[in-house]
Amino acid sequence: MTDILDPLTVSPGIFDITATPLPAHRDDWERRLLEHPNLLRTIAENVGGPFHIMYPARIVENIRAFQKVFADAEVRGDIYYAKKANKSPSVVGACAKTGTGLDVSSGGEFLAALRGGIRGADLMVTGPAKSDDLLELSARYSALVAIDNLDELARLAGLGIPSRALLRVQPPGSESRFGLTDFELDLALTRTDITAIRLEGFSFHLTGYEAAPRAEMAASLLERCPEARSLGHPITTISIGGGFGVDYVPAEAWNAFTKLVNPRWFHNERFLSPKSYYPYHFPEPGPRMLAAVLANNDLGARLREAGIRLAIEPGRALLDHAGCSVFGIQGIKTRIAYGVPYDILTVNGSSLSLSEQWFNSEYLPDPILWPQSAGSMTPTSIGGCTCLEGDMLSWRRVPLPRAAEMGDLLIYPNTAGYQMDSNESAFHDLPIPPKVVLNDVSGVRSFEWHLEVPRTVD
Ligand SMILES: Cc1ncc(COP(=O)(O)O)c(C=O)c1O
C-alpha cells in the first residue's frame, strides 16, 4: 500500500480547484479605461457584440523605446513591424508616424502597408516561396525581399526589374523549414546572373525569446560580410527577425502558477504542461532584450565598425499594452468539480478571438470582470458561444473577484500581439469582432473612440 495520495481522488477546497491569480500588469490608459464609469458599457452597447480595443499611442511609445536603444548604443538600426501580429490599420498608422517599416508576407499585407502610408522601400518581405505577384510588387516598390530559397532568387532576378534582397539564413543545427543552408548561401552569393538584384545582406528569425543566440547568429553573419562585399554585393544590413519577449504578468504570480499548476485547476482537467505556455513573465522584454542583444560580446560595436545596420522585425513586442479584447457575458452555469461549485460563463464571442487557445495552449493573463466590484472569489471557466466543446477562452478556473452576472463584461488584457485576430473567422455566421480605436483627449483623462472600418483583402 502506498501512502502517496492520488491528487485526483482527494476532495479539495475552493482554492484547490482554482488557478492561482495571473493579474496582468496595467498601463495608465488601461486603468483609466477600466475605471471609467461608462465608456466600456457605451462601446459595448454600440457594437452589440464582442470587440477589440486598440490604443495606438502605446505602439508609438514602444517604437520610441526600441529606437532609443539603437540611439543609445550608437548603432544604426531599423524596425520592421511584423504585420501578421495584428491586422489593425491603426498599427500601420503608428508605424508611419514614427518612420517604422513593416515586415509583410503577402500581397494583402503589402498593399495595406502602402495604403497606410509606409514607403515601399521601408517594407521587408518575408515568408517562404513568395508568389510571383508578390515578388513583382516588391521589386516595383523597391521593398527588401528576404530570399528563402534559390528558386525565389532566380524568379526575382528573372523579372529583370532592379530589386533589393537579403538572403534568409537557416539557423545552423535547426530543422527549420525556412532559410538557406550554408551551401545554398554560397551558391547565391556567387551567382553571376542576378545583376538586377542588389544583395544587401542577411536575415534570420529564431524561435524562442533569448537574446544570446540572436546576437551570436548576427555575429557569425557579420563574419560573412567582407567576403560577400568582395564578391561585389553592397552589403549593408543584417536582420535578426522578431521574438522580442513581452512581460505580461509579475514574476511572483508567474512563479506560483508554473510551480503549482495541475489538472484540478482546469475545466475537464484540460491540463497543459507549463512548457506549452508562452513565458508570460519575461524579465528583459522588448527594448531591454534588444539592448542585451547589442551588448552581447560587443555586437553593437562590431556592427558599427563593419558599417552594418541591424534590422529587427518585432511583432508581439511592438504591441505590448496596445490593446485588449472585450466580451459580454450571455450565459452562466454552476457546475461542481471535486465537490466544489464553480461557474462556467458563456461569452458573446468565440475563442477564435483569443488565438492562443488554438495552439494547444491557453492565454494566461487573467480576464478582468467589469464592472470591477468586490464580492467572494468565484472559480470561473469561460467558454465561447459556438457549439464546439473545445471553444473555451479559459479552460482554467480563473479566480474572479466575484460571481459574474449576465451582461457583465470580461476584458482580456494585452491581447493586441497575436491574440486578437490571427485566427478569427465568421464561424457560425457570427460577425468578426470590430476594432475600436482609443485616442487620448488632451487635458482630460478620457478618450475619444471610433470604430475601425474593416478592410477586405485586395
Ligand atoms: C520572419 C519573422 N519575422 C518576425 C516575426 C515576429 O516575431 P515576434 O512577433 O515574436 O516578434 C516572425 C514570427 O513568426 C517571423 O517569422
Q: Distance, CA 57 to ligand 1 centroid (Å)?
A: 22
Q: Spell out the domains of the chain, with CATH numbers in brackets.
A: 14-54+322-452 (2.40.37.10), 56-247+282-319 (3.20.20.10)
Q: Above 60 in pLDDT, residue 435?
A: yes
Shortest-distance Cα residue to atom 16 of ligand 1: 205
Q: Distance, CA 208 to ligand 1 centroid (Å)?
A: 10
Shortest-distance Cα residue to atom 10 of ligand 1: 243
Q: Distance, CA 290 to ligand 1 centroid (Å)?
A: 14
Q: Distance, CA 316 to ligand 1 centroid (Å)?
A: 8
Closest atom of ligand 1 relative to the 417 alpha carbon: 9
**Best mutation site among 62, 80, 84 for ligand 1, i.e. most ligand atoms within 8 A of its Cβ?**
84
Shortest-distance Cα residue to atom 6 of ligand 1: 242
Q: Above 60 in pLDDT, residue 156?
A: yes
Q: Above 80 in pLDDT, residue 350?
A: yes
- Look-up: residue for cell 507549463? 274
Q: Above 80 in pLDDT, residue 344?
A: yes
Shortest-distance Cα residue to atom 13 of ligand 1: 242
Shortest-distance Cα residue to atom 4 of ligand 1: 242
Nearest Cα neighbor of 177 from 129, 249, 242 is: 129
Pocket-forming residues, ligand 1, beta carbon under 6 Å? 82, 85, 103, 126, 205, 241-244, 313-317
Q: Give the mean pLDDT of 232-253.
A: 98
List, in sequence order, every beta strand (DSSP E) within 105-219.
123-125, 144-147, 163-168, 197-203
Which tens digit of pLDDT belongs to each residue from 382-395? 999 999 999 999 99
Q: Distance, CA 381 to ligand 1 centroid (Å)?
A: 31
Query: What pLDDT score does 21 carry?
Result: 98
The whole-chain average pLDDT of the chain stands at 95
Which tens digit of pLDDT belongs to each residue from 6-42? 444 444 599 999 999 999 999 999 999 999 999 999 9
Closest atom of ligand 1 relative to the 317 alpha carbon: 11
Dihedral of alpha carbons 233, 237, 238, 243, sign: negative
What's the rounded Cα separation, in Å, for the pair 398 and 23? Answer: 10
Closest atom of ligand 1 relative to the 209 alpha carbon: 10
Q: Distance, CA 70 to ligand 1 centroid (Å)?
A: 19
What's the rounded Cα separation, in Å, for the pair 371 and 378? Answer: 15
Which tens digit of pLDDT belongs to each residue from 107-140? 999 999 999 999 999 999 999 999 999 999 999 9
Shortest-distance Cα residue to atom 12 of ligand 1: 242
Q: Above 80 in pLDDT, residue 369?
A: yes
Residues designated as active site: 387
Closest atom of ligand 1 relative to the 146 alpha carbon: 1
Closest atom of ligand 1 relative to the 318 alpha carbon: 11
Of 67-71, 103-107, 118-122, 191-195, least confident by mean pLDDT is 191-195
Which tens digit of pLDDT belongs to each residue from 76-92? 999 999 999 999 999 99
Which tens digit of pLDDT belongs to each residue from 199-230? 999 999 999 999 999 999 999 999 999 999 99
What's the rounded Cα separation, in Å, for the pair 164 and 58? Answer: 32
What's the rounded Cα separation, in Å, for the pair 22 and 44? Answer: 25
Nearest Cα neighbor of 345 from 408, 293, 298, 433 is: 408
Q: Distance, CA 117 to ligand 1 centroid (Å)?
A: 22
Q: How large is the angle between the packed helices 211-230 and 286-295, nearest 10 degrees?
A: 50
Residue 201 φ then ψ, to 5°? 150, -150
Query: What pLDDT score does 284 carry?
Result: 96
The grid coordinates of residue 265 equal: 485547476
**Best mutation site among 81, 104, 313 for ligand 1, i.e. most ligand atoms within 8 A of its Cβ?**
313
